[in-house]
Chain A
């Protein structure tokens, strides 16, 4: 069925009081960005919902995109009919034929903003109810929990009909909660943390540490590809790659084995902090889950967290691995995450890292290193790329391959 309009209902933002118009503005911007491939659309944000006039654009394509925009509670594709009851009847039957199979229960729910229309709300409900009883004896009217709710909206310019309501992604419009950096490794957890941050309206930039030649180009490509997987929710994401080889080599040479991991992490966090300040970000997100590995015990968090005063948010902190995997599968990052490329978290991992590192010892071992110099050189080597959803990093040969197949 070709629809004419999609009615978008806002999520939580309806309750946000004075910030409301800012939220709606942000959502409108994000929807516009997400739908930029459909130039024919007219998007009209209103106080309690947003209307997208399709003007002939492909409704399925538009709805697929909308499902990835945070801040949308749900949406209904609708058919626009001139205010003529004969035409309304025709369209009602057509729509119900497609969406209400024999044996379904239904109800009609009318909403009228044009109070000059000949039928009032009840009149409309009765009229269409009668029509369906007459023409579709295979359906049964039922007020409580019907299979199909036919929504009729009488507006000034036309009447809108819809039978389908599609769940949106929920959450808050990305950007409405400010900006943060995400420490993205290449594993399963950090992309999930990134997704959850986006869902709460946080605009994120990726910070990825790489250590050539210990880590391969593939590992870097994988991190970029993971970033590309999250871009549909935002449009584009900045990917900040930080060279980490010198720091890892220096730490390895100068620090007792048990503290290798802790001190490497302190360096990573310092760099994330410096980048966040430079990029005007307000917080640092990561994919730590309490107790999952040695660096993620509460003791480790104390020893590592010490280097920054910026809030560190850990969206998956209390999730079980299986719960995290479930989300990773839903957002389609799982298969990528489990590709076996060494990343810099694993490459110099000591066989027996301290699970309960001591804060003072961490500070002491580290004090012998040229911390500022190391950080400065890493910061100087930073490269920033903007990643879009259509970008391909893993399969550079993809075009050649499809040509040959």
Chain B
């Protein structure tokens, strides 16, 4: 079995699962309880928070646990809108964000907020000048993803940060769901960034885990109100075992980040160089330094992406069409549409996404299967 759909989700790390089980059994108290069991659970929760903070070079009270990337994105977008409403109703994002951002923005539009969606070029990148032009006196949030989940384009976070230096009151949010462990920590720690969304299951933590970084002194309104957990900003009994497992998974995930990045880039390159020899293959992801090392999006002209996904499945190789979130709906990828890709080509797009557990041998196996699949569907492809 070859699992090449790591941008959809990753397999839980066995060590993290072990932590999950042990913490469930041995730290069963509610961290808010006064008694010793509660205190023990509290120590565990705060230990995990400190470890995560250390790993991303933040302070423990800048880390807020969530249920994942979707919640983090929703929270920063809507939480900013609620918090900063008196200062303005304009928000800026890009056309290629994850639906958790786009649909939160759409919801805000229906409530009377004004949203600018920055376009991207044919490679999938925003132009910082467009951001400059879009900024207004009543802009309250700029939200830009670090790594696009469909093609892997790494948006110019540092350039955006530079522009926003002149707008210190505008919240700057980065969706880093696809960026963690991919060699981008330096950009993510740009001091101008106010909020960052992370999702646990993209780095081998259990499902339903995630956290946001919120810079000291930057405020967003809570969406979950209740018992006052997480500094009264995200109520709900803390998921201690999952949080502990996430802290462990993150530590292991970042242990040899540089080595992992190199390895994934090599696998990606081997597949890309192989498939692009075929005349009807079109690469959407480029083998360029501004593309993430773990995502390769390409199309076989004339064959629907869904067909290719199932064909690979016959070889026990698991890939996806574009984003797993929208792939079941059969809609064409929103990122590719924003890139003005040929719509026919876009419906043929497939995505290979890697993690540190993949190997070059798997790339060779993938390439061998690709040759057979290409031959199998050659009759569907356009003639010269």
Taking Cβ atoms with an 8 Å cutoff, the residues of A that contact B are 217-218, 395, 397-398, 400-402, 404-405
Contacts and interface: CB of A to CB of B under 8 A. Distances in A.
A405 B47 contact: yes
B247 A397 contact: no
Query: Chain B CB within 10 Å — which of A217, A398, A401, A402 has the most?
Result: A401
Contacts of A395: 43
B23 A404 contact: yes
Given A397-B40, A405-B247, 19 more contacts: A218-B39, A395-B43, A397-B43, A398-B43, A398-B47, A400-B26, A401-B47, A402-B47, A404-B19, A404-B22, A404-B23, A404-B44, A404-B244, A404-B248, A405-B19, A405-B48, A405-B51, A405-B244, A405-B251
Nearest to B40: A397
Nearest to B44: A401
A276 B247 CA distance: 48
A218 B244 CA distance: 23
Contacts of B36: 217
A398 B51 CA distance: 13
Nearest to B18: A404
Interface of B: 19, 22-23, 26, 36, 39-40, 43-44, 47-48, 51, 244, 247-248, 251
B22 to A, nearest CB: 6
A218 B42 CA distance: 13
Nearest to B51: A405
B144 to A, nearest CB: 31
A166 B253 CA distance: 40
A397 B19 CA distance: 15
A239 B19 CA distance: 37
B176 to A, nearest CB: 21
Contacts of B43: 395, 397-398, 401
Contacts of A397: 40, 43-44
A398 B44 CA distance: 8
Nearest to A218: B39
Majority DSSP secondary structure for residues of B touching A? helix
A190 to B, nearest CB: 23
A286 to B, nearest CB: 29
Contacts of A405: 19, 47-48, 51, 244, 247-248, 251
Contacts of B244: 404-405
A212 to B, nearest CB: 14
Contacts of A398: 43, 47
Query: Chain B CB within 10 Å — which of A218, A395, A400, A402 has the most?
Result: A400
Contacts of A400: 26
A395 B43 CA distance: 7
12 contacts: A217-B36, A395-B43, A397-B43, A397-B44, A400-B26, A401-B43, A401-B44, A402-B47, A404-B44, A404-B248, A405-B47, A405-B51
Contacts of B19: 404-405
Contacts of B47: 398, 401-402, 405
B47 to A, nearest CB: 4
A400 B251 CA distance: 17
A115 B183 CA distance: 60
A405 B19 CA distance: 7
Contacts of A217: 36
Contacts of A218: 39
A405 B44 CA distance: 9
A401 B251 CA distance: 14
B211 to A, nearest CB: 14
Query: Chain B CB within 10 Å — which of A395, A400, A405 has the most?
Result: A405
A398 B47 CA distance: 8
A404 B15 CA distance: 9
Nearest to A404: B19
Contacts of A401: 43-44, 47
Contacts of B251: 405
Nearest 9 pairs of A and B residues by beta carbon: A401-B47, A404-B19, A405-B247, A405-B51, A405-B248, A401-B44, A397-B40, A395-B43, A397-B43
B291 to A, nearest CB: 33
A404 B51 CA distance: 11
A400 B244 CA distance: 12
Query: Chain B CB within 10 Å — which of A395, A397, A398, A404 has the most?
Result: A404
A343 to B, nearest CB: 15
B228 to A, nearest CB: 14
Contacts of B26: 400
Nearest to A217: B36
A98 B251 CA distance: 34
Nearest to B250: A405
B202 to A, nearest CB: 19
A404 B22 CA distance: 8
Contacts of A402: 47
A401 B44 CA distance: 6
A257 to B, nearest CB: 27
A400 B41 CA distance: 12
A395 B248 CA distance: 19
A299 B43 CA distance: 43
A401 B19 CA distance: 10
Nearest to A402: B47
A191 to B, nearest CB: 21
A400 B19 CA distance: 11
A219 to B, nearest CB: 12
A67 to B, nearest CB: 24
B37 to A, nearest CB: 11
A404 B252 CA distance: 12
Nearest to A394: B43
A398 B40 CA distance: 9
A404 to B, nearest CB: 5
Nearest to B19: A404
Nearest to A221: B39
Nearest to A400: B26
A217 B37 CA distance: 13
A402 B19 CA distance: 11
B208 to A, nearest CB: 19
A397 B247 CA distance: 17
Contacts of B39: 218
